[in-house]
A and B are shown apart, each in its own frame.
Chain A
Amino acid sequence: MKRSLLSAGQVAVLVVGVAIVAFVARGESGIQQATLWLVLGLFAVSVSLLWGYAGLLSFGQAAFFGLGAFCYAWATTDTLLAEPLAWNPALIGCLLSILLPVLVALAIGYFLFYGKVVGAYFTIVTLALSFLLGSLGQGWTKVFGGFTGIAGVPTLSIDIGVGTFALRGAWSSYVFAAVVLLLVVALLSRMLATPFGLAVDGVRDNEPRLQYLGMSVVKVKLATFVTSAGIAGLAGALFAAESNYVASDMMGPVLSTEAVIWVAVGGRRSLIGAVLGAVLVRAGGYVLSGIAIDYWMLFLGGLLLALVLLGSTGVVGILQWLLAKVSARKDRGREAAGAA
């Protein structure tokens, strides 16, 4: 329980910090950007769960993110249907955005995990999935809007019986995104602290041992994969509602692998690290976008290479190391004082 409250608290601090920096730097438009970063942070959390905790490196997580975004767009616009859904399109869109990725992940995960697809193979099949969904989206104009995507996706607005819960203005969107992120992080941390969460750790660290203990490794993997697909889908729906636009490259390999970079930068073994990585990389890209976006991508590639070669645990890992150093010094100081 303590661990889960701790990570939610860390994320809360981060969320407030991002808001202050963004508002001071760019005012309202800064807050709008920061909302998207938080949503992408939620997406990064799904990658971190899969990669950092279960040890399954997916290069196709954007497939679920993009599918979620399209579910929201399909429910709320006239792309797929003659007209938007009559009753609560945004709510149904959000629910579908979790359901469809979960079903797709269940189907693919069933074949892959029972087929004993592990390690690099898993990464490749997910990469292929995201790559093909991305190009399918570009070709299939009727469903995915083709090259132009689907514009005019409405902002979140839910009929709750006694009235309408709608997001108006930059701040309310930001707070909403922050609350969803906090809830998901708190729930996930809670889940990871249960025996199931320990089994997820076990899948990463020692699969045979887990089997000796009579646990079904495949089921643990499948559950983790499906959970992370659902989170990615929800993030996609929120992204669509916030940016009012959906395009097929949101399912593609570029976003999939960028998410892996976020998690590598922030620290793969912590949920807060994933959010931090997404915010840092996206904010960096935003600041540099006018000047040198080409060099930024080159820099990201170099950064990833350096992180991998150094075996780095990301920003969070470095912070933990520094904290450990500081506390060790304190202890030594206390010991010295005690001896005297």
Chain B
Amino acid sequence: MGTAQLILMQVLNTGVIIGVLMLVTLGLGVIYGMMDVLNLAHGELLMLGAYSVVVASTMGLGPWEAMIVAPIVVGAIGYGLERGLISRLYRRPLDALLATWALSLIFTQGIRLIFGPAPQSVTAPIQGAVDIVGLPFPKYRLFVLVISVVLTLLVLALFRYPTFGVKTRAVFQNADMARCLGVRAPRMYSGVFAIGGALAGFAGALIAPLVTVEPTMGAVYLVRSFLSVIVGGVGNLAGVAGGSVVIGGAEGVIAYFSSGVFAQVIVLAIAIVIVRVRPQGIFSKR
């Protein structure tokens, strides 16, 4: 087993992390960019996605069906949250932040009460491995990598080309002006929350077979995707996706030489320094 092969494996595995991170971060970034609400329950939406897969498979659905059910369920939850709760708090950003934190406590504790603290196991819908330059690589990981990159590109296109996307970006840049021009911003808000929720839910369903599914699994993704948003800047969505690549990639590279937690600490330090040097994010043009 040569060094080059080992490095390729590491790159592929890091790619899987980055792909899933991009899905989570896109939802978080677009919600923050449009509504100025940092959704601290975003990690829990991912967790709910993973648990939807668990529930769907105990109800007798196949793994592929379960993977489709998860984003629908979590998207609906996101829509409901915006309508019932977050929409009341747009004028009080810190209170909105606290409310989403309260939600994340409630979700984590609620799931723990229902399913118990023990990890749940989920089987991957694809078994087996493919040969990549002589080394076996799990087929499912390759699937996750490809699907998350494709989905990220689709989401970026969704916010770029159709009328919906143009309106979204208009609200993103100047909500008051967009409303003057007849864009129904409040309606867009719940739509965007639903999309963000669905993306997080789908990410949760994707990684469910790869990690331990437990009530607190969302926290680490929350922190990672916030760092990505900070590094990428909230100015544009492509920057947010780029931030995920930087954060996920840096973590993968540093973790290769030391431990995973140490890598996260270094990445946090880098993010704090970046905030000082380029507060607008490294991918913003300003």
A complexed with B: yes
Q: Residues of A contacting B226 with CB < 8 Å? A: 124, 127-128
From B18-26, B57-65, B101-109, B174-182, the one touching the partner chain is B101-109
A99 CB–B CB distance under 8 Å: no
Q: Is A111 in contact with B273, judged by CB distance below 8 angstroms?
A: yes
Contacts A112-B275, A120-B97 given; does A302 touch B102 at CB 8 Å: yes
Given A111, A120, A125, A301, which contacts B103 in the complex, CB threshold below 8 Å? A301
Contacts A136-B265, A139-B261 given; does A305 touch B227 at CB 8 Å: no
Q: Is B264 in contact with A308, judged by CB distance below 8 angstroms?
A: no
Contacts A120-B97, A128-B226, A131-B219 given; does A308 touch B89 at CB 8 Å: yes
| Chain B interface residue number, banded | 35 or more
From A6-14, A170-178, A275-283, A291-299, the one touching the partner chain is A291-299
Given B37, B88, B112, B272, which contacts A309 in the complex, CB threshold below 8 Å? B88
Q: Is A124 in contact with B101, judged by CB distance below 8 angstroms?
A: no
Bound complex: CA A79 to CA B218 (Å): 32
| Chain A interface residue number, banded | 35 or more
B157 CB–A CB distance under 8 Å: no
Contacts A298-B106, A305-B106 given; does A119 touch B94 at CB 8 Å: yes
Q: Is A304 in contact with B98, judged by CB distance below 8 angstroms?
A: yes
Bound complex: CA A129 to CA B271 (Å): 11
Task: Give the Cβ gap from A110 to chain B, nearest Cβ, in Å.
Answer: 8
By secondary structure, the A interface counts as helix
Task: Give the Cβ gap from A230 to chain B, nearest Cβ, in Å.
Answer: 20
Nearest-CB residue, chain B, relative to A120: B38
Q: Residues of A contacting B32 with CB < 8 Å? A: 120
Given A111, A114, A135, which contacts B261 in the complex, CB threshold below 8 Å? A135
Task: Give the Cβ gap from A91 to chain B, nearest Cβ, in Å.
Answer: 30
Bound complex: CA A132 to CA B251 (Å): 13
Counting from the closest, the 3 A-B pairs by CB-CB distance are A301-B105, A305-B102, A115-B276
A residues at B contact (CB < 8 Å): 55, 57, 59, 108, 110-112, 114-117, 119-121, 123-125, 127-129, 131-133, 135-136, 138-140, 253, 257, 260, 264, 294-295, 297-298, 300-302, 304-305, 308-309, 311
Question: What are 21 residue pairs bridging A and B, where the CB atoms are less than 8 Å apart in the complex?
Answer: A112-B272, A114-B276, A116-B279, A119-B93, A120-B36, A120-B37, A125-B271, A128-B223, A131-B220, A132-B261, A136-B262, A139-B261, A139-B262, A253-B219, A257-B105, A297-B109, A298-B106, A304-B102, A305-B106, A309-B88, A311-B95
B residues at A contact (CB < 8 Å): 32, 36-38, 40, 85, 88-89, 92-95, 97-99, 101-103, 105-106, 109-110, 112-113, 219-220, 223, 226-227, 230, 259, 261-262, 264-265, 268, 271-273, 275-277, 279
